[in-house]
Amino acid sequence: MQVLDTAAKIRKQIADNPVILYMKGTPDAPECGFSGQVVALLKGLGTPFAFVNVLAAPHIREKLPQISQWPTYPQLFVNGELVGGCDIVLGMHAEGTLKPLLESAQPR
C-alpha cells in the first residue's frame, strides 16, 4: 500500500468530497467560534459535508495553507475549489450565492 504524503492526502480529500470543511474541532463540538458558525450554517442548509479536524491533524493544519493559499481556519471547499473562510461563507450566504453553490456539489 502506498502512503500518501500530506499534500497528496489533502488533494485527495478535496477531490473525493464534494463539500469538505477543514475546521478546528468536529461538527458536534467545534473548538473555534468561526468553525462553529460555518458548521451551523451548513447544517441549517441541510448540506452534507465531510470535515477534517485540523487540531487532531497537525500535519494537515501546517500544510493546507500552502496548498489553498488561505492562512486561517475554517476553510470550506466545494467541488474541489476553495470557497473561503467564515467571513466569506457568511457573506455568500447573506448574498444568496452560497446555497446554489452547495446544491451544485456532486459526488465524484
The whole-model pTM stands at 0.94
* Topology given in CATH for the domain delimited by 6-98: Glutaredoxin (3.40.30)
pLDDT digits (tens, 9 = 90+) for 31-50: 999 999 999 999 999 999 99
Task: Return all residues near 28 (Cβ < 8 A) that are at least 6 apart.
Answer: none
Domain assignments of the chain as residue spans, ordered by start: 6-98
Dihedral angle sign, alpha carbons of residues 72, 23, 79, 100 = negative
Report the C-alpha gap between 24 and 36 in whole angstroms: 9
pLDDT digits (tens, 9 = 90+) for 41-91: 999 999 999 999 999 999 999 999 999 999 999 999 999 999 999 999 999
- Residue 95 forms beta bridges with which residues? none
